Structure 1
Amino acid sequence: MSGSGSGSVGSYYYSYSDGGVDDGVAGHGSYDDGSSHSASSSSVALEEPKLKYSRVGADLIRIVQKDAIVCLEAGPKFLAVGTSYGAVYLTDHLGNLIKEYHSHSMGVNAISIDGAGDYIGTCSDDGTAVVNSLFDEESYRYTFQRPMKAIALSPNFRDDKAFVVGGLDGVLVLRRKKKWSAFGKSKDTIIHQGDGAIYAISWRKSIIAWATPVGIKMYDRETEERITFIERPADAPRPDEFRCHLVWVNDATLLIGWANWVKVAVIRQSHVKYCEIIGSFRTDYFVGGIAPYKEAMLVVIAYTEEAAANESDSGEGATSSRRVVETVPRRPELRIISYENDPVSSDALETHGWQYTHCRNYSLAYLHDGVDEMLYVISPKDVVLAQPRGPDDHVHFLMEHSKFEEALAAAEATASQLQFYSVAQIGRTILDLLLERGEVRRAASMLPAILKDDRGAWREWILLFEAQGLLAELVEFVPTTAPQLEADLYDLIITHLLANDHAGLLTVVSKWPPSLYSMTSVILAVERAHASFAEDEDEGASPKVLMEVLAKLYTLSGQYDSAVQFCLDLNVGDVFQLIEEHKLFSAVLERIPQLVEADADKAVALLVKYKDEIPPDHVVSALRGPVLEESLLLYLHELMKKDPHIGSDYHEEQVVLYAKYKPELLLNFLRQSQYIPLERAFKVCKGSELHECMVFLLEKMGNTREALDLIIRKIGSVRKAVAFAQEQADEELWDDLISKSIEKSKVEPQFLGELLEHIGGHIKPAKLISRIPENLAIPRLRDRLVKIITDYNLQTSLRSGCARILRNDCVDLMERLVKNNRRGAHVAGAAECMTCRAMVNVSSRGARSTDDGVVVFFCGHVYHRACLAQSVVGGGGVAVCVVCRAQAASIKKCLLSSPCGKRYGLIKTRPGRPEPAEWTTAYESMAMAATTSLSMPHSSWPRRILK
C-alpha cells in the first residue's frame, strides 16, 4: 500500500524496506491493546489486506489545523466538509479547496447533496438550514426555532426544490417552494412528530428514512404513507450519545448502524411496499460509521475503549489512595463484515487525534462512481481514503513480500489493467533484486518467464551471468528453441562448463540438440581436456565425467563404433541403450566379453533379445572359458526361456553348467529339454550327487528299479518312493518297494513305519503286512496298521461307488444308443454306392426302393448289398463301413509311428514284452476318436456293425 500526504492519492512506487504503509494510516489486523502496531509485522506478510489507505491532504490539512471536522459528504464531483465553526468547504477528492461557505454561526450538524451533485444543503445548531447552488449565487436560508440535527435534499432537487429537515423539536418537515424565487412562499408538510428529536435523515428515490429515539421510520412520498417502523433495542445506549448512520446500498436496501447494533433493511413491494430485515446483529463495539462493500458485505468503523487506571492521593500524607478508573479510546478499526456479521478483514487506523476522539465524532462517507468504490473515514482532525486494492496493489504487495514468481504471474494476468507498473519493469526489478540478494539460481529460473522470446535480452543476461562467473547456474534455463539463440552464446556456455563444471557439460550435451554448437570443435576441445586430465596424475583428477561427455559426443556425431568402444573400455555411459537405439550389433560381435563384464544381466538381455542379429553360436564361443562360464549359463538359460529349440546344440554343455553353478535349476531343465543325451547327463548328475536329477534320468531311460532304489537309499523319502511307484503303475515295482523298505528298516525302523502310513491307499494291506519280519520292531505299529487298513477300506469303498455310478451311466447310455440305432437313417433321393460308385435310387416316402438290396450305415455311407458282401468276405465276415475302417487303420499307423503314441499312453510296454491284445482295441478307439476330432473328409465311425 502507498499514499501521499501532499494531495496525490494512490501514488505507487517500488519500495521494499520494512516500514511505512500509506503514510502510517493503517495497521493490518485486529489488536487487543493500545500499543503501536507496525504495518510491516509478520501478520501483514501472511495475508494481503483488502483495502488500501491514503490521507486526503492538500488544503484539507490547513482546514483541520484551525477547525475541526464535524461531518463530510462525498459527491461525484466534490467533497463537502462541515466544521465546528459553521463553515462548509468544498474540495476535490484530493483535498484541494474549490469553494467555501460561512452560512452558520454554530457547528454544522449534517450535509446533503442532491442526486445531480448541483446543490448542497446544510443545517446547524443555530436553527438554520441553508441550500446553496454550486454553479451560481443561488442560495436559500431557512430559520427554525430549535437546533436542526439532520437534513436531506430531494434526489431531484433541481426540479422539485424539496428537502426534509428535523432537529431537537422532534418535527420532520418536508419543505417545498411554491414558486422558487426570492419572494416565493414555501409549502411545509409535517411528515412526523411526537417521538422526540430527529437524529438522522436519508432520502433515496421516493423513500425517506429518519431516526428518532424510538427507532427508524420510513415514508413513501409517492403514496404519502409510512412504510415501516424499525424499533430500537430496549437495552440500547442513549440515542443522543451515538450518531445514527443511515446509508443506502441501492434504491431498495438501507444499512442502519447505531451504537452497538446493525440492521440491513430491504424495501419490497407486492400490492403495497413493505420492509424486510435481512440482517440484524449486535456488536461488541460501537459503530462509528457504516457503508456498503461489494456484494452482500458492509464496512463499519469499529470503536472500542479500554480501561485506563489513574492513581491520585486523597491528600498529603495520606496512608491510602483511591483509584479512579476511566476509559480511553483505542484506535478505530475499519472492519469488513458480511450481513451475518462474519468477519472478512480488519484494519486499525492511525487517524490524527484518535486518542481524544469519541465514537460520535467519527463518520464514514461512501462514494461509488460506477468504477471505483471510495470510503472516507472522517474524524475531527483527519480524513482517510480507503479503497479496494487493485491489480497494481496486489502486484506491489507480492513484490514487497518477495513473492516474485506470483507477482510476475499476477502482472501478466492483469497487464491491461495495470496503471503504474509494466510487466517488463516488474521483471527487471525482480531480477535485479534477486541478484542483489545473492539468490542466483532463483533469478536464473525466472529468466524464461521474464525474457520469453526476446533474443536481445537473453544475450544481455547471459553475458551478465558470464561476467559475474554465474553461468553454470543459468545453463539449465537457457532456451534451445523458441527462441533459439545465436551459436556463439551456446559455444560460450560450453566453453565455460568445460573449464568449470564437467557435470554441467555432460547435462548440456545430453539435452541440447547438436545443431546448436560446433560439434567438431567441441569434441577436439573435450579430447584435449581429457588428455590433460589423464596426464595430471599428481592432481588425482578423475576424467570419468569427461569420458562420458566424449562418449555422448561420439554418439551425437555418428561415430558409433568409437562410442561403443569408448564406453566399454572405460566402463562409462549406458552402452546398452546406445547399442539398442542405434542397432550397433556389428560393433557388439567382437566385444561380447567386455559387454558382459560391464553388466551381465543387461548384456544377456540384449543378446537374447537380438538373437537373430547376434547369433547364439557366436555368443557361446565368446563366453566359453572359466571366467565367463556363469554368464554363459545365464545366457543359455534365458535363451531356453525365449525358445527351447534354438540352443539345443548346447543343452549337454548346459547340463554341466547347471550342475556346477545352479544345481537347483537343473531338474526343471531336464524336464523341459528333449535334446539331452540321457547317459551323459546321468554321469554329470552322478558326479555332482544330484539324486533327484538322477532319479528323473533313470526313469526316462526305463531303469525304474534303479531309480526306486536311489530314492530309498539316497533320498530316503517314503512319500517320493510311493509317488514314484504309483506313477509307474507296475506291480513288480511295488514288490521292490516293499522289499527294499523292509531291508532299510533293519537299519532305520521308522522307514517301514512311514511306508505303512502312505501305502495304504495303493496296495492291499495284507501284501505288505504279510512280509514284515516277525522280530522287526516298528514304532507305533498298531496305529499305523489301523491307518493302512482304514485307507485301503476307504479306497475300496470309493472304487466300488465309482463302479456303480459307471455301470448306471453305461446302462443309460446303452439304452439311449439302442433307441437311436433303431431309428431310420435319412438318405438323399439319389446316393452313390461307396464300392462300385453306381447311383443308388431311393424312392419317395411310402414307396419301395427301386434298387433292391441297399445297406446304409449310420456314418452316412451307402452300399449295394452285393458290393458290401464282397467287402465282408475280404474283411473277415463282419459287415463294416469300408471307408471308415480304412481311415481308422491309417490313423492307428500314424499314432504308433509318432511321439504322440507315448503321450496318449499307446506305448507302455517294456522292451521285449509283447503288446497286450486289448491294446489293439485301444488303438482302434483312439483312431476312431482322432478321426472325429481331426475333422478328416469322412469323419463318421459306424455306430452299428452289421454281422
Structure 2
Amino acid sequence: MFKTTPESNCYICGIAPLENNLVVFTFDKEGQTSDEPNKYIADRPHLQIWEPGTNYYEEISDDALSFRAFEEYRCFDYHLESVVEESLYFLISPKDVVVAKLRDHDDHITWLLEHKRYEDAMESAMTHSRELKRHNVQELGKQYLEHLLEAENFNEAAQLCARILGRKKELWESTFEKFNDIGQLKVLAPYLPCGNPLLSPHIYEIVLNEFLRTDHEGLLRLIKSWPHNLYNMQAIINRLRNEYERDKNNLILLECLGELYTFQNRFDKALAIFLRMKHKDVFSLINKHNLFDSITDRIVQLMQFDQEKAVKLLLDNIGKIPIKKVVQQLEQSPELLHCYLDKLFQKDPQLGQEYHALQIKLYAEYDREKLLPLLKNSTHCPLQKALEECRNRKFLPEQVFLLNKMGDTKGALKVIMEQLDNVQKAIDFCKEQNDKDLWDDLITFSIDKPVKNIFS
C-alpha cells in the first residue's frame, strides 16, 4: 500500500495488475486555462505503468491518450477494464474504447523504423527473428541499405551487403545495379561474392572495366584475388592490350596481362612479361609450371634480374638446363658467366671441368683470390695457358705455384728471388722441395743479394 505523491497531481480512473507492476488510468486534476471566464478544458487522460514498492512507487511509462471530445470529460467519465490473463486493457470513454496491450518485437521494430533507427531495427530483428510476424531481417536490411545509399554512406552500405543479402543472387544483382547507377561500383567491388552465390559473368566484367578505366592498381588487386572463372578472361585481356597499346610505359597494366596469361596457362607470354618487368614471381612461376624450356634463351635476362636466384635455379636444374647451354648464353656477358661458373665450381669442381680454362681468365679478371684455389684443385686446367695469363697480369704467387707444378722448380725459385724478392720464402721453398741442386740455385741467385741473415 502506498500513496500517490503530490507531484503526480492526478486522479486515478482505474487500476489493474500487469505481472508485478500496475496499469494505472489517470486524469489530471488541473486542466487547461481558457479565454472564457470559469471555462475548464480537460487534458488528455494518461495510461501509466507503475512499479509499486513499500510506501512508494516508480513510474515506468506514461502515454497520453487521445479520445474524441476528451476536453469535455471528467475523471468519472473514464473506466478501465482488463483481461489480466491476456494482458489486455480496455480504456473506456463515453465515445471510445481503446484497447491497450503489451508491445511485441514487431511493434518495437516499427517504432525504430518510424524514428529512422534502421540499424537498431535490423539488430533487433536478427535477435528475435523467430518471434516476428510482420517484419523480417531481409526486408529490414533492404530498407537500411536504401537509407544508407540515400545518405551517401556508400562504404557502410557496401560492407553490410554480405550480411543483408546473404546468398540471394537476385538481391545481389539488383543491389549491384543500384551501386552501378550511382557510380559506386569501386566501393562495392571488394564485397561482391565470388561463389555461393555466383553472380552473372557480365557483372564481374563491368567491375573490371570500371577499374580499367579509373584505377589500375585496384584492377590488379581484383585480378589477383578473384577466381579466374568468374568472367571472360579473353575479353578482359583484349581490353587490357588495347589500353596498354595506348600507354606502353604502364607496368601495372603489363602485370595484369601477365597474371591473366598465367590463368590461361599461356606461361610463355606470362614469363616474357614478368621478365621484362623484373617481377619477383618470375622464379616461382618457372619452378611451379616447369618452364625451363622457355628460359633457355632468356638466361641473360634472368641473371640481370637477380643473379643469386637465377644461378640457384640453373644449378638446381642442370638436367633441364645443361651447363653448355648456359655458357653459350652467357658468353657475351663475361661477368655473369664468371658468377655462374664460380658457383658451379663451388657446387662440384668436376661438373664444369671443361670450362676451367675459361675460368682462369674470369677469375683473373673478376676475382683473383679464387684463382689459386682453382689451380690447386682442378685437374683440367691447361697449365701453360694459365702460366701465360699469370705472366701477362704479373700474378707472381700464381706463377710460383704453376712453375712448381710443371716441374720447373728453378724457374719458380727465380720468380721468388728476383720478382718477389723474398729470401725467406725462397728458403722455405727449398726446404719443401728437398733438392740439393735447388739450394745451389738459391746461392747463385743470392750472390747479388745482401748476405746478412740469408742463412741461419
TM-score (norm 2): 0.64
2:195 is aligned to: 481
Which of 227, 243, 255 in structure 2 is aligned with 1:548?
Answer: 255
1:658 is aligned to: 363
C-alpha change, 1:688 and 1:472, in structure 2 (3 Å) is farther
Decide whether the 8 Å contact of 1:490 with 1:517 is kept in 2. yes
Residue 229 of structure 2 aligns to a residue whose secondary structure is helix
Would you say 1:522 and 2:227 are equivalent positions? no
2:42 is aligned to: none
Would you say 1:510 and 2:215 are equivalent positions? no
Task: Give the Cα–Cα distance (whole angstroms) in 2 for the partners of residues 581 and 484 of structure 1.
Answer: 29
How far apart are 1:66 and its partner, in Å? 2.2
Which of 48, 52, 58 in structure 2 is aligned with 1:95?
Answer: 48
Letter in 1 for 2:362: L
Q: 1:909-924 to 2 correspondence within 5 Å?
A: none
Which of 390, 402, 412 in structure 2 is aligned with 1:685?
Answer: 390
Instruction: Specify which structure has the higher proportion of helix.
Output: 2
Q: CA RMSD in A?
A: 4.9
Residue 482 of structure 1 aligns to a residue whose secondary structure is coil
Equivalent pairs counted in the alignment come to 372
How far apart are 1:582 and its partner, in Å? 1.7
Task: Give the Cα–Cα distance (whole angstroms) in 1 for the partners of residues 205 and 229 of structure 2.
Answer: 11
Structure 2 stretches lacking a partner, 5+ long: 12-16, 25-46, 58-107
Residue 514 of structure 1 aligns to a residue whose secondary structure is coil
1:636 is aligned to: 341
Task: Give the Cα–Cα distance (whole angstroms) in 1 for the partners of residues 166 and 301 of structure 2.
Answer: 48
Residue 95 of structure 1 aligns to a residue whose secondary structure is strand
2:450 is aligned to: 746
2:315 is aligned to: 608
Letter in 2 for 1:693: E
C-alpha change, 1:470 and 1:76, in structure 2 (3 Å) is closer
Decide whether the 8 Å contact of 2:22 with 2:49 is kept in 1. no
Decide whether the 8 Å contact of 2:23 with 2:49 is kept in 1. no
C-alpha change, 1:571 and 1:96, in structure 2 (3 Å) is closer
1:65 is aligned to: 8
1:458 is aligned to: 172
Task: Give the Cα–Cα distance (whole angstroms) in 2 for the partners of residues 636 and 492 of structure 1.
Answer: 52
2:102 is aligned to: none
Q: Which has the larger radius of gyration?
A: 1
Letter in 2 for 1:494: L
C-alpha change, 1:96 and 1:512, in structure 2 (3 Å) is closer
1:267 is aligned to: none
Instruction: Specify which structure has the higher proportion of strand.
Output: 1
2:183 is aligned to: 469
C-alpha change, 1:706 and 1:525, in structure 2 (3 Å) is same
Q: 1:778-857 to 2 correspondence within 5 Å?
A: none
Letter in 2 for 1:66: N
Q: 1:490-639 to 2 correspondence within 5 Å?
A: 490-534=204-248, 542-568=249-275, 574-625=281-332, 628-639=333-344
Task: Give the Cα–Cα distance (whole angstroms) in 1 for the partners of residues 185 and 351 of structure 2.
Answer: 56
Structure 1 stretches lacking a partner, 5+ long: 1-59, 69-73, 82-93, 101-107, 113-391, 535-541, 756-767, 770-947
Decide whether the 8 Å contact of 1:725 with 1:733 is kept in 2. no
Task: Give the Cα–Cα distance (whole angstroms) in 1 for the partners of residues 337 and 154 of structure 2.
Answer: 54
Q: 1:279-290 to 2 correspondence within 5 Å?
A: none
C-alpha change, 1:556 and 1:698, in structure 2 (3 Å) is same
Report Cα offsets for 1:368-411 as digits up to 9, x if no partner: xxxxxxxxxxxxxxxxxxxxxxxx9xxx9xxx9xxx9xx99998
Report Cα offsets for 1:123-173 as digits up to 9, x if no partner: xxxxxxxxxxxxxxxxxxxxxxxxxxxxxxxxxxxxxxxxxxxxxxxxxxx
Letter in 1 for 2:48: G
How far apart are 1:651 and its partner, in Å? 0.9
Letter in 1 for 2:371: L
Which of 719, 730, 742 in structure 1 is aligned with 2:434?
Answer: 730
Residue 314 of structure 2 aligns to a residue whose secondary structure is helix
Letter in 1 for 2:185: L
How far apart are 1:660 and its partner, in Å? 1.1
How far apart are 1:667 and its partner, in Å? 2.4
Residue 517 of structure 1 aligns to a residue whose secondary structure is coil
How far apart are 1:630 and its partner, in Å? 0.8
C-alpha change, 1:422 and 1:651, in structure 2 (3 Å) is farther
Report Cα offsets for 1:720-744 as digits up to 9, x if no partner: 6677566x26275995798599779
Residue 48 of structure 2 aligns to a residue whose secondary structure is coil
C-alpha change, 1:436 and 1:621, in structure 2 (3 Å) is same
Decide whether the 8 Å contact of 2:240 with 2:257 is kept in 1. yes
Letter in 1 for 2:250: P
Decide whether the 8 Å contact of 1:509 with 1:553 is kept in 2. yes
Q: 1:328-339 to 2 correspondence within 5 Å?
A: none
Decide whether the 8 Å contact of 2:129 with 2:136 is kept in 1. no
Letter in 2 for 1:65: S
Q: 1:902-913 to 2 correspondence within 5 Å?
A: none
TM-score (norm 1): 0.34
Decide whether the 8 Å contact of 1:709 with 1:740 is kept in 2. no
C-alpha change, 1:430 and 1:670, in structure 2 (3 Å) is farther
Report Cα offsets for 1:229-287 as digits up to 9, x if no partner: xxxxxxxxxxxxxxxxxxxxxxxxxxxxxxxxxxxxxxxxxxxxxxxxxxxxxxxxxxx
Residue 611 of structure 1 aligns to a residue whose secondary structure is coil
Letter in 2 for 1:510: K
Letter in 1 for 2:313: L
Report Cα offsets for 1:590-633 as digits up to 9, x if no partner: 333344444444433332222211221122112212xx111111
Task: Give the Cα–Cα distance (whole angstroms) in 2 for the partners of residues 588 and 553 of structure 1.
Answer: 20
Report Cα offsets for 1:696-725 as digits up to 9, x if no partner: 333433444544554565556788667756
2:20 is aligned to: 77
Task: Give the Cα–Cα distance (whole angstroms) in 2 for the partners of residues 476 and 720 of structure 1.
Answer: 75
C-alpha change, 1:669 and 1:473, in structure 2 (3 Å) is farther
C-alpha change, 1:685 and 1:488, in structure 2 (3 Å) is same
Decide whether the 8 Å contact of 1:712 with 1:740 is kept in 2. no
Decide whether the 8 Å contact of 2:223 with 2:260 is kept in 1. yes
Letter in 1 for 2:395: L
Task: Give the Cα–Cα distance (whole angstroms) in 2 for the partners of residues 468 and 631 of structure 1.
Answer: 56
How far apart are 1:650 and its partner, in Å? 0.9
How far apart are 1:659 and its partner, in Å? 0.9
Task: Give the Cα–Cα distance (whole angstroms) in 1 for the partners of residues 352 and 208 of structure 2.
Answer: 50
Q: 1:177-576 to 2 correspondence within 5 Å?
A: 440-441=154-155, 443-534=157-248, 542-568=249-275, 574-576=281-283
C-alpha change, 1:572 and 1:547, in structure 2 (3 Å) is farther
Decide whether the 8 Å contact of 2:201 with 2:231 is kept in 1. yes
Task: Give the Cα–Cα distance (whole angstroms) in 2 for the partners of residues 508 and 615 of structure 1.
Answer: 39
Decide whether the 8 Å contact of 1:551 with 1:573 is kept in 2. no
Letter in 1 for 2:189: V
C-alpha change, 1:429 and 1:666, in structure 2 (3 Å) is farther
Report Cα offsets for 1:764-787 as digits up to 9, x if no partner: xxxx34xxxxxxxxxxxxxxxxxx
Letter in 1 for 2:347: K
**% identical equivalent positions:** 30
C-alpha change, 1:445 and 1:65, in structure 2 (3 Å) is closer
